[in-house]
Structure 1
Amino acid sequence: MNPIASPTTLTGQPLSRFPGLRTAAALLALALLPTLASAREEAAPRAVTPRGGLLADEQAVVGLFEQSSPSVAYITTETVQRGVFGGAEVSQGAGSGFVWDATGHVVTNFHVVKGARRVFVQLDAGKPIDAEVVGGAPEYDLAVLRLKSVPKNLRPVPLGSSRDLRIGQTVYAIGNPFGLQRTLTKGLVSALDRELPTANFREVAGVIQTDAAINPGNSGGPLLDSAGRLIGVNSAIRSTSGSSSGIGFAIPVDLVNRVVPSLINRGQAPLPGIGVTPISPDQVARAGISGVVLGAVGRGTPAAAAGLQPYNPQTGDLGDVIVGVNGRTVQTLSSFVSELERAGIDSTVELTVRRGDKERRVRVKVIDLRG
């Protein structure tokens, strides 16, 4: 049986016969190991490809955000609620808002601050500031806050107009969806003149529909046009999941600009009406009646001056049923209120009134029911 052959050199002689060479070979192998490992494990950073300047439309959006975002507020609230076992529990809420003027007024949705015990407003990267609610209009889902400590150099959002908006215009929403502050989304004006149900069987007319992503927490934040002007207040979404589905609604700025000064000055907003007390829409619907059935007509009101007659519970006579305003069909109380809001206080509207099988038209002045 032959012994295992020893490693040989290039001369064919065993390395064991050359102890000096064997040691040198071992040292050379050890010296090469770090170099080989380095070649396998380390890589140099790639060079950055210069991109040049931003495109013009990108730069415009960046500028819009940098100019507008310091005016957007992150609003948090504390509300006391009755607990399961009768005790008081403090719950927290959040939403968005924006600076209205340099004296510290901030606009948001009414539902953001409804029932709040404490309200805090955070602007830009500053600390939360205590605020108080100075006025609220649930019929328009608008509220005004006043900062208790007014920072220097407040920057109100520039006002635009919603009257001349066109479907297809680019719009931007800035807010705090899911508590993620100062989030910018972009979209289009998807539709105009929508109606948004609010409180007391009322609807806001002329609402802007947009596909800019609006999520919980965006409520009360500004909807801006491409010039950075306020055109609406983001208020609601239509979604089966509770998140954005590309259908959001904003209260038009022309309405906001009428309501907010009244909230600041009086704490409440004007309420258009003609001096009637309608019968509950649920009762009217169950009776299969289309239109507004009058439960009462106030003395000395425009409705009384126009000769409108209410429902008579003794005889069962429906009286006058309002079925149209200024040529537009009215089938529900909410649509009637929307038409009065569209016409505005101190205007005169033409009502289409049905009594039995006959219709007639009467002219009635729209007044502020809150005086």
Structure 2
Amino acid sequence: MGANDAVLLDAYSQTVSDVVERAAPAVVAVSVTHGAQHVGSGSGFLYTPDGYLLTNSHVVRAGGRTSAKNLGYRVSLADGREASARFVGDDPDTDLAVLHVDPISTGALPALVLGRSAGLKRGEIAIAIGNPLGFEHTVTAGIVSALGRSMRASTGRLIPDVVQTDAALNPGNSGGPLVNSRAEVVGVNTAIIRGAQALCLAVAVDIASWVLPQLMRHGRVQRAYLGVGGSTIQLPRRVVSALSLDGPGAVRVDAIEPDSPAARAGLREGDLVIGLDGQPVASVDGLHQLLDGSRIGREMMLKLLRGSMPPEVMYLRVQPSARAPA
């Protein structure tokens, strides 16, 4: 190793060490109990000095064994302090959850700063802190390997803009922070790809920043609800060309719930949804992303194809409602 290599390695080590010193005090181990039984564990981190912490939905739900409201939570800080925590809310669609630690029982609490993931670049330093395999407050470091990935949540929805890193993660890291060289949170570690090496995923902090206020206010994320079951299909080229459509993708309506907004609007099984309020719909995931809380109770226009080839272009007025809590 040459002198320059040694200097670079020392600078990298110093950066990681400084970040860990600043960030680690706010990282907690989360223990989940059901009655007297220990049913799960994971990681989390405090993001407000009054005790709110962010973790994964699959951590607080202990792998889906039971409702989070029936579970108990205890957190351990890096300095050895322990405290109970209460469930505030979670969003399984983004695999994020909020717990609250009573600051009176623990004294002053450290907190991490939520950064921005929009400005991340491949090759940036990425540092993960968590509790893999029960080894509390473990640090791993690597780089941001890729951006703009997507992954399926347990609900089947697609989580967009996932950050891929090669910082080593193991079971128990879930819910811990992925931080940059300024000790700012840029992601929430959520998944490892079994069978792959150095391929780990984190929910982007910009997604978390959108979810957090809703969890703290409502206990869940409010999303618009149509009441349809559908599947993504590809339209024949001749149909796309003849009707001058935006693209070949569409959502085929496979089922309609009784007395739902879709049923009241006159949607039928077999209809092909291709647009919502002037925006193209090319897939089920695209429709999900359009149905955010801003559309609840607001009349919109569904663009669809109905009938035999060539199908007829139709428009239906629909007024999405709030989705019932899970």
Give the TM interval when normalised to the shorter protein.
0.7 to 0.9
Counterpart contact for 1:297–1:310, Cα < 8 Å: no
Q: Which amino acid in the other structure matches residue 69 of structure 1? A: A
Give 1:197's match in structure 2, choosing from 146, 149, 152.
152
User: Percent identity at matched positions?
Assistant: 32
Task: Please tell me whether residue 231 in structure 1 is matched to residue 166 in structure 2.
Answer: no
> 1:256 aligns to what?
208
Q: Note the alpha carbon deviations across 1:206-231, whole angstroms, 9 max, x for none.
A: 21121211110000000111211111
CA pair 168-354 structure 1, distance change in 2 beyond 3 A: farther
Q: Residues of 1 paired with 2:302 and 2:118: CA distance?
A: 25
Counterpart contact for 1:102–1:154, Cα < 8 Å: yes
> 2:129 aligns to what?
174
> 1:296 aligns to what?
256
Task: Please tell me whether residue 67 in structure 1 is matched to residue 22 in structure 2.
Answer: yes
Counterpart contact for 1:221–1:234, Cα < 8 Å: yes
Give 1:345's match in structure 2, choosing from 291, 294, 298.
294
TM-score (normalizing by structure 1): 0.67
> 1:38 aligns to what?
none
CA pair 163-153 structure 1, distance change in 2 beyond 3 A: same
Give 2:75's match in structure 1, choosing from 110, 113, 121.
121
CA pair 327-219 structure 1, distance change in 2 beyond 3 A: same
Q: Which amino acid in the other structure matches residue 322 of structure 2? A: L
Residues 81-96 of structure 1: matches in 2 within 5 Å? 90-96=37-43
Aligned-residue offset at 1:355: 2.1
Q: Note the alpha carbon deviations across 1:263-286, whole angstroms, 9 max, x for none.
A: 122212222x3x4212265xx89x
> 1:108 aligns to what?
55
Q: Residues of 2 paired with 1:189 and 1:363: CA distance?
A: 44
Q: Which amino acid in the other structure matches residue 214 of structure 2? A: S
Give 1:245's match in structure 2, choosing from 193, 197, 204.
197
SS of equivalent to 1:345: helix
**Two-structure CA RMSD over aligned residues (Å):** 3.5
> 1:310 aligns to what?
268
Q: Which amino acid in the other structure matches residue 111 of structure 1? A: H
Q: Residues of 2 paired with 1:67 and 1:366: CA distance?
A: 48
Counterpart contact for 1:139–1:200, Cα < 8 Å: yes
CA pair 304-129 structure 1, distance change in 2 beyond 3 A: same
> 2:227 aligns to what?
277
TM-score (normalizing by structure 2): 0.76
The count of residues paired between Structure 1 and Structure 2 equals 290
Aligned-residue offset at 1:193: 2.0
Counterpart contact for 1:350–1:361, Cα < 8 Å: no
Give 1:131's match in structure 2, choosing from 85, 89, 94.
85
Q: Note the alpha carbon deviations across 1:292-336, whole angstroms, 9 max, x for none.
A: 4163388795x689x66222xxxxxx2x32246744631xx3453
